[in-house]
Structure 1
Amino acid sequence: MLNKNREERHEHLYRDYFADNYVYGANDFKKRFCLSRDVFLRIVNALESRYEFFQLRYDARGRHGFTTLQKCVAAIRLMAMGESPDTMDDYMRMSERTARESLYTLSRGVVETFGDVYLRKPSLHDLQELYAAHEERHGFPGMIGSINCTHWKWKKLSGSMERAIRKWIAGSNNDVNVLDQSPIFDDLLNGKAPDAPFTVNGNEYKYEYYLIDGIYPQYSTFVKAFRHPVEERDKFFKRRQEGARKDVERAFGVLKAK
């Protein structure tokens, strides 16, 4: 069996990006891996403490396994740089199988580790802050966002890897099905959402709402624009409603590009 000298490859990787006298700085790291080095190291430390897969192990002959840095860098390179798993052999002497397993385990681990913090439902305090922000910027009290789902193509992944990750994350992703996977929307639809009242023109309303376009169902938590406004006030509302939705579209477009 070939001795691929994983230890030397780890030292090479460490000197390139993580040593005190590194070769490539923080800006180079962010450009190449599409996230900051500090965020990357936070993910690395969290996964290493939680999952045996990311901890340094030895085989039956006492040979050094891949380090946490090597596995996480391989996974991020596959996602951020559009590389195929077999290319990991050149830089880190990592097999295609290990590179794939690193990608899948990191993807699942990030959701399981950070989901409660970054994917949680908004609290009443969060909703009140959203109310204030949207009312100040868009003039819509009680609005918590705009719904404009889109089909997301993972352009930087190979076809087989894209299908595998899609299957793990979700099934069909048309607009209504994506919306139905949202626990926030489910709570609103089933009347289980926390009371977050707001007042408009002297009338108090119990639940928050979303801005949407015309393809969505007629729900009380959806606010559509007038399709063919005639009166000036209806035209004004249509302009403001569509303008607020465009803000979300532009922000999401930037997010996809990054």
Structure 2
Amino acid sequence: MAYCLEIMSTQAINPSHGGSIFGHRVIHRDREDEHDNYFVQQRDTIGRLGLSTLQKVTAAFRILAYGVAADATDEYIQIGESTAIENANDVARFLEIGERRGFPGMLGSLDCMHWTWKNCPTAWAGQYAGRSREPTIVLEAVADYDLWIWHAHFGLPGSNNDINVLEASHLFANIANGTAPPAHYVIQGKVYDTGYYLADGIYPKWSTLVPTIHQPLGPKKKLFAMMQEACRKDVERAFGVLQSRFAIVKGPVRLWDKHVLHDIMTSCIIMHNMIIEDERDEQVDIQSWREAPAPEVDICRDERIIFEEFLARHRQIKNKEAHYALRDALIEHMWEHYGNSDN
């Protein structure tokens, strides 16, 4: 280390050779221009400096790392809730793309990935071993059309199946609490206000999930199953791209601490999304998309009413009748728009 520092200091004092290797010419790569304008401190209309780069980055990492509420960042680094929350417009974008792909109200596709834990402690090996007979840790994720992962729940033992992971995750917490961004759309003349996710056949029949149909009978259901499975591949492709970009989450991990593994997976997903966001405008040309307002939350002082409303929303999420009604409406919608009555 001392030798390397001595070389660096010598080069800094006497950079006559022009590069890090003697005799090589210097290539200017415009590193100063490689940045995201979102994190640049700017002035407002009256010339006052806005939020600093440190404030914006700190707020983002506190929300991602600690799961704090968006308005909690206001007390810590003086950033308002409307600045920290931008997912209402993300939901609007998902709805626009989902409708173009034949699924009005779709917010992405849901699935799980198992990460092999090579150095799992022996005492935990039985708990973390699943179908593969090797200890694994489960990542539950929701990805959209361009492989952007906007929900991730990581850490459950590999002995759990997708349903167990779903029950333990926070995917529908905002819906149950009444704080989810609005998702208004119409199918077959009926207005819906809660989005849904595409999933494979193991997932339960909830009003917020649309699994595929195994062994579909009839042309309508066959068309639905074909289109559903094609769109559902988004999350599987996202897992593949994530693993191809970061080899550490592809092969067996050799670390011991679960918290370190969580930080590694979270960091890889964040960097994956940064790449996706940087390339998004080049991949998809969206002329216009509906802009959703932020959710309005009424503050109720009666704890009993709050709890009853929470239970009602929770029951609606798991409403099997609402699930079949939504699925049947989607089947008819797709047949009207993409089906061939001659078949």
Hey, which of these two has a bigger chunk of helix by percent?
A: 1
Hey, which of these two has a bigger chunk of strand by percent?
A: 2
Tell which has more relative contact order, 1 or 2 (C-alpha 8 A, sep 6+).
2
* TM superposition score normalised by structure 2: 0.38
* TM superposition score normalised by structure 1: 0.49
